[in-house]
Structure 1
């Protein structure tokens, strides 16, 4: 995989084929489309080179090394620069490197390389230290949200076969009750962790192959039991390196966010700091006023947030017009769809359209709007360097609209102990089936997400993509946000149904009015046949709608 880009740019002149190998594999790959658009649209560069002009050198090194080696190298280059600060607790690159070495030494005296180690705690410096130590030791980090119940943690521990854990608060208490197969449990919020840090230091990272697992992530479980996703050092490094290059990240950047560090979106900010020598400031919880104050205090250059956070920031910024947000060079949005309406509201408030990007648990960061533009609201942009992208039908054939499939060094190789799920997740040729539906605009090359394949509504034999209907409803001034799903119908098979949160300034908008509004913008079969009003949409920790938790209609709903 490490030589993917080199192969992609080489021309087989001896065979006279005139296209790189990966273009021959699929005529519908986005890179190939970009080459063919050179003359049609005047874009002049394939998709990767719209992010990074000199892409060949980047691609050759995307997947090299391990996280521990890369973090240690940065610490030697910028020892005294602050690496990560969570609330008021900060560590320089050298301090974090020393603590990570201590954790690694403690683990290596107890566990073999490859052992799974659960880390379950709220945002904090101890969590960052534990994570850096686990990957330095050659063990596999299993990050667990502190919101998980004991039942959920039990599944995680059992499925991962975890042998040790670092935890705090209620998670520590739950893990202590779970016990087996855990052999060791250290409290991140007690004296235990001090004892860990007092152990002898291990200066050199464990020599493990770059394709060995570093992180065992778990799918969100919004549509079923969470599955383990082993992500190698090469997967994680190639994902963040491609994004950092595309976003022109330097050691001078200061990132601020309030995302959970047990999720890859928030963890990506830590990776950014530890790979580039930059600084990441994390808040333990999201508060829009405190976040704006922190951006000002840090003179931040980059902000990470999800759409729900941007909505609250926009509401406050519209009233206070903080100059600090307008000084940001980059505001990144991900983890959930950003509506074009909200994107434009945020742009008015902070002076730039948020840079929306797309990725999955299994494949890291894959697609991004270009830093230099155009940033097209409603789209997630172009494939990042190293990522190949196609749109396929259920049989894996190229299609104008359908499932997004990916391959590249960022993409995992299969689910943890789930051979059947792994077989279902890939088309021949190593193309990962994301389960997300979308299409690529042939004029711009930008990808638009239309929904999830399992969320597709089939009404009267016709396919309806929920996200398309949601975006139309959210154009109405009386709608703050909307979710669309199918309900069983004797007549239609499934009935397109909308759950709507009204805006505060238009509480009287009716379901009939919204259906009529949709009919002016959508084909009749796509329009909701029923609208249900609720106070808030059910979402997970990263802001994604949990559709199976949408309330069932009552007898008086129309």
Structure 2
């Protein structure tokens, strides 16, 4: 049965997943209830990677800054539904700008600080921004110089010292008294209005803008704050850039829900990160799997840090190694939450209350995740899902058969920004999002297990092989810091399996050691790698995902040099 988007929206409101409040409404309610509570803390090394001194802001101080910036945006000519592209690191101004735009009904399109003219020109062409905001100073980068030739009719706005003469200096701008109140009265912002346009990771093809409303963000929030066991006023350490699902949906929305303290971190620096855990005493943080594995393997570093404040840690962006998840729980008493999602919408999440066993939690996701919605207390299923054969057909109900995960629910977007063809390819007629991720049903139907991306399948002699499955196993290899499996062309078998390996410091690794380790885990022989490429590091995109296509290209270049 095909259900219209309007009918789904009504159902989400009736169930309590969605409501009538914007994110600005939620923030100002927290500020009114807890004006003296610390709301936001800059990284201590802020001056090294950006500018200025690190700030600690109470809710009252942050609310005043949000209103000042909202008035400044209005004075500059930014209004409701105007798109503002923001390219900033994790600094307090970025958070304030989010809620300033939410206050006036403008749309935030956040972009990674690493993006240059190649990416920005494409994104500007898609969203046609009214303004571009960046910092006047950023370590090793000239954001103003890169963006200026691309702006067209868009205004240049900056934060930081020494604003260029052709820019609107948001650090110094002041609001006109009464203007913000008048704008609010004349331009009501609806919770179903688009609030952000984030971007797909862009590992292949043209980047796609992912619009999400205030309610889309509210709908996704319980996935983290419930699963992470968060409580009123908790401290949250946020090391992921404020541009994507992990940072906005996973941390910022939880921060809103519990009126907590958000501690910012950027760029990722293990020493600074661990020092912040020791000094700020967060109850929750997120970290990439590779970082958690590195920490667990570094006995000297582990002995120097105090992680006792952490109630849980969230991790995702790549399959979790069971050895890492078990190690954190058994050695340190900290459950690691397995998070699988995208900017289009949360897919799956596994916490310690749903899956107590850490080894199971590293690999499995509950097929039915019951959580209390943002505006209700009674738990209900947050997401509908089904597995469909990649080539099409009826949904899969048997165990052990890979199928594409399709999802629908209050956390899932409605379609790409101004891209009807891409939207039609991504969404089914009955509103399910085609994730492009392969899962299979496990353990008498209780769980789903990730087995790979549809486009990443290795086809060896007509047999489909998931590279992520092998990556996950190699995550526990004692001599490897990280590994990535990929397809190599073969005239007989069609494709064979290559593996790029980054040895731990002071160790060497051979192909035989890799295959022996995989055999010890009873991996099928046809899945064993047949060529090893030792690398110093693996290329990653701005969301810290290993770029398998680039790893493969590096390996093929090595083979060509040897020929």
The aligned residue for residue 378 of structure 2 is none
Aligned equivalent of 2:29, options 43, 67, 73: 73
Separation (CA, whole Å) in 2 of partners of 1:7 and 1:115 = 29
The aligned residue for residue 50 of structure 2 is none
1:176 pairs with 2:158: no
Confirm or deny: 8 A CA contact 2:235 2:284 kept in the other structure: yes
1:473 shift after superposition: 3.2
Superimposed CA distance per residue, residues 128-166 of structure 1 (whole angstroms, 9 cap, x where no aligned partner) = 111211122111101011111122112111211111121
Aligned equivalent of 1:379, options 345, 356, 363: 363
- Correspondences of 1:287-302 after superposition (within 5 Å): 287-302=269-284
The aligned residue for residue 180 of structure 2 is 202
The aligned residue for residue 438 of structure 1 is 439
The aligned residue for residue 239 of structure 1 is 220
Aligned equivalent of 1:552, options 523, 540, 555: 555
Confirm or deny: 8 A CA contact 2:109 2:198 kept in the other structure: yes
Separation (CA, whole Å) in 2 of partners of 1:417 and 1:526 = 41
Secondary structure at the aligned position of 1:243 is classed as helix
Separation (CA, whole Å) in 1 of partners of 2:474 and 2:352 = 28
Superimposed CA distance per residue, residues 472-528 of structure 1 (whole angstroms, 9 cap, x where no aligned partner) = 333433333211111222212222211112233531x32134234434522232222
Superimposed CA distance per residue, residues 212-234 of structure 1 (whole angstroms, 9 cap, x where no aligned partner) = 21100110111222111111111
- My pick for the range that moved more, 304-313 or 463-472, is 304-313
Separation (CA, whole Å) in 1 of partners of 2:78 and 2:275 = 43
Separation (CA, whole Å) in 2 of partners of 1:517 and 1:283 = 36
Confirm or deny: 8 A CA contact 1:341 1:475 kept in the other structure: yes
CA distance 1:380–1:147, change in 2 (3 Å): farther
- Correspondences of 1:134-145 after superposition (within 5 Å): 134-145=101-112
The aligned residue for residue 49 of structure 1 is none
The aligned residue for residue 471 of structure 2 is 470
1:361 pairs with 2:343: yes
Question: What TM-score does the superposition give when structure 1 sets the normalisation length?
Answer: 0.84
1:545 shift after superposition: 0.8
Separation (CA, whole Å) in 2 of partners of 1:243 and 1:2 = 27
Aligned equivalent of 1:123, options 80, 90, 97: 90
Separation (CA, whole Å) in 1 of partners of 2:314 and 2:200 = 22
User: What's the Cα RMSD here?
Assistant: 2.7
Confirm or deny: 8 A CA contact 1:344 1:377 kept in the other structure: no
1:530 pairs with 2:527: no
Secondary structure at the aligned position of 1:427 is classed as coil
Secondary structure at the aligned position of 1:202 is classed as helix
Confirm or deny: 8 A CA contact 2:355 2:361 kept in the other structure: no
Superimposed CA distance per residue, residues 103-130 of structure 1 (whole angstroms, 9 cap, x where no aligned partner) = 2233334133211100101121111111
CA distance 1:250–1:505, change in 2 (3 Å): same
The aligned residue for residue 170 of structure 2 is 193
The aligned residue for residue 52 of structure 1 is none
1:390 pairs with 2:390: no
- My pick for the range that moved more, 200-209 or 341-350, is 200-209
Confirm or deny: 8 A CA contact 2:312 2:335 kept in the other structure: no
Separation (CA, whole Å) in 2 of partners of 1:352 and 1:519 = 30
Separation (CA, whole Å) in 1 of partners of 2:452 and 2:424 = 22
- My pick for the range that moved more, 434-443 or 145-154, is 434-443
Separation (CA, whole Å) in 2 of partners of 1:245 and 1:283 = 23
Runs (5+) with no aligned partner, structure 2: 44-53, 164-168, 372-381
Confirm or deny: 8 A CA contact 2:196 2:213 kept in the other structure: yes
The aligned residue for residue 256 of structure 2 is 274
Separation (CA, whole Å) in 2 of partners of 1:213 and 1:187 = 24
1:4 shift after superposition: 7.0
Separation (CA, whole Å) in 1 of partners of 2:346 and 2:112 = 18
Aligned equivalent of 1:98, options 38, 51, 64: 64
CA distance 1:353–1:245, change in 2 (3 Å): closer
Separation (CA, whole Å) in 1 of partners of 2:317 and 2:330 = 22
Confirm or deny: 8 A CA contact 2:348 2:365 kept in the other structure: no
- My pick for the range that moved more, 212-221 or 332-341, is 332-341
CA distance 1:197–1:123, change in 2 (3 Å): farther
Separation (CA, whole Å) in 2 of partners of 1:449 and 1:240 = 22
Separation (CA, whole Å) in 2 of partners of 1:519 and 1:241 = 40
1:69 shift after superposition: 1.4
Superimposed CA distance per residue, residues 154-181 of structure 1 (whole angstroms, 9 cap, x where no aligned partner) = 2111211111121113223222222214
1:162 pairs with 2:162: no
- Name segments (4+ residues, structure 1) moved above 6 Å: 1-8
Separation (CA, whole Å) in 2 of partners of 1:515 and 1:166 = 50
Secondary structure at the aligned position of 2:514 is classed as helix
Separation (CA, whole Å) in 2 of partners of 1:443 and 1:324 = 40
Runs (5+) with no aligned partner, structure 1: 9-55
Secondary structure at the aligned position of 1:321 is classed as helix
Separation (CA, whole Å) in 2 of partners of 1:92 and 1:516 = 55
- Correspondences of 1:271-350 after superposition (within 5 Å): 271-316=253-298, 319-322=301-304, 324-350=306-332
- Correspondences of 1:511-530 after superposition (within 5 Å): 511-519=511-519, 521-530=522-531
Separation (CA, whole Å) in 2 of partners of 1:196 and 1:79 = 24
Secondary structure at the aligned position of 2:363 is classed as coil
Separation (CA, whole Å) in 1 of partners of 2:330 and 2:352 = 19
